[in-house]
Structure 1
């Protein structure tokens, strides 16, 4: 009898500790494989040239830290690779990086770009059925764009660029009781003068694992990142990255 009581007390204690630990500190980590299609173009003089870009499967990784401290926001860090290659036949001459590429010249381009999101947010509403987060995102874009004439490798130019873009951030998630199913819509947005950038993703989720130590959730969704930026460190862009993704999130 005493052994049974002790075992029961131990289980209750562990459950209580896990619940308190999750209340005090929650860590979320996730990884996504994104089937990314890229459209659009770029320039360094506001005369953007569109390219035919290759489809790529890219990785996105994130970690978020949530806590109950009043007035102190939660934090999330997300990193996404956006590099791809493209080509086009110029219908008119193009000057890039001080190099003149004549009309009717086939040119190749290599886009090497990384997007890193530094997000701070508040949980305005949070329960098992509905949650709503609101905050700000400092999106850091760090890239290099290389251009080369297809039939003359000596004719080439490259420019790198880097900068922060401040954005609004929000996330809404819903759950279906007793099924493990859920869905969320998450996004960041900015519109200012000639600059418009949006980064949205929507997904359905399914709980793969749920115990006192760790939760694991499968994600299946769609993401779209649009970048219409006017003179970001000397580069003008009109890019759209979009496609389906599959991911896994763990909660400690």
Structure 2
């Protein structure tokens, strides 16, 4: 009798967890094309130089694994390219990477920057109408910065930097039953002393395909990333990346 009661209890517990998730084990994979506008600047001594950056179209990819196991968080990995370039008319002399850039010249910059997010989160709500996730994000920033004298390309300053920044993470998604339409807002945020790092996106979604094997969803939204950091591996920045994106997400 005790074994029978225990078995019924376990079945009921598993049914409860299953009712809170759309599948027992869900794998999500997505790709986005981001029309990125960049503003701001950087330095290696705190006296940031603001550049005139060119607009770029960059890519972002992510995968997420969701499961019904209690206490163990779901995981999402995302990688975003944020490379850009620009120039500035030098008003007053400055140094970067040990090189001197004199006034009345033009300095060119080449920014190579990637953001890799490792997100651990819990689904507090999950149904066809509303989904709410809460967790933490370890954002790894990896960059290489060049400043080049346009008149003398041999005069080039170069700095590398990398670091992990812990951030709070949340996501809210809503769906409109029987229409295929939905929307979501997702973001990570950190504000501590003079450090501010944020990464937000909001999008409208439409289900292109939905069956027992695969779901395919189209996304159209807006993303903004702010990197306002003091002395991250020797680099100071007040950079902002923002713009519209379009993407596809596959759910297995």
* Length-normalised TM-score, structure 1: 0.91
Q: Equivalents in 2 of 1:105, 1:188: separation in Å?
A: 39
Counterpart position of 2:78 = 78
Which is further off, 101-110 or 132-141? Answer: 101-110
Quote how far apart the aligned CAs of 1:182 are.
0.2
Q: Secondary structure at the match of 1:154?
A: coil
- The answer as to 2:4 corresponding to 1:30 is no
User: What's 2:42 paired with?
Assistant: 42
Alpha-carbon distance in structure 1 between the residues aligned to 2:234 and 2:224: 24
Residue 53 of structure 1 and its aligned partner are, at CA, apart by: 0.6
The C-alpha deviation readout for 1:214-251, integer Å capped at 9, x for no partner, is 00000000000001000000000110000000000000
What residue in structure 1 maps to residue 216 of structure 2? 216
Cα shift at 1:103: 1.4
**Partners in 1 of 2:153 and 2:240 — Cα distance?**
28
Q: Please list the CA deviations of residues 126-156 of structure 1 after superposition, one character each: whole Å capped at 9, or x if unmatched.
A: 1100010000000000010011100001111
Partner of 2:60: 60
Following TM superposition, by how much is the alpha carbon of 1:24 offset from its aligned partner in structure 2, in angstroms? 2.0
The runs of 5 or more residues in structure 2 that have no matched partner are: 1-17
Whole-Å separation in 2 of the counterparts to 1:210 and 1:78 = 24
2:202: which partner in 1? 202
1:158 aligns with 2:164: no
8 A contact 2:22–2:126 mirrored in 1: no
- Structure 1 SS opposite 2:40: strand
Does residue 132 (structure 1) correspond to residue 126 (structure 2)? The answer is no
User: Within 1, Cα distance between the matches of 2:123 and 2:105?
Assistant: 53
1:185-196 to 2 correspondence within 5 Å? Answer: 185-196=185-196
Count residues in correspondence. Answer: 234
Question: For residues 229 and 40 of structure 1, what CA distance do their matches in structure 2 show?
Answer: 12
| Correspondence for 2:11 | none
Distance 1:206 1:153 in 2: 49
Q: Find the aligned partners of 1:41 and 1:97 in 2 and give their Cα distance.
A: 15
Long gaps (5+) in structure 1: 1-18
Following superposition, the deviation at residue 23 of structure 1 comes to: 2.5
TM superposition shift of 1:157: 1.0
**Is contact 2:22-2:127 (8 Å) kept?**
no
CA deviation after TM superposition for structure 1 residue 92, in Å = 1.0
CA distance in 1, matches of 2:126, 2:214: 19
What SS is found at the alignment partner of 2:23?
A: helix
| 105-114 vs 20-29, which moves further | 20-29
Indicate the residue corresponding to 1:4 in structure 2: none
Structure 1 residue runs of 4+, over 4 Å off?
Answer: 19-22
- State the partner residue of 2:12: none
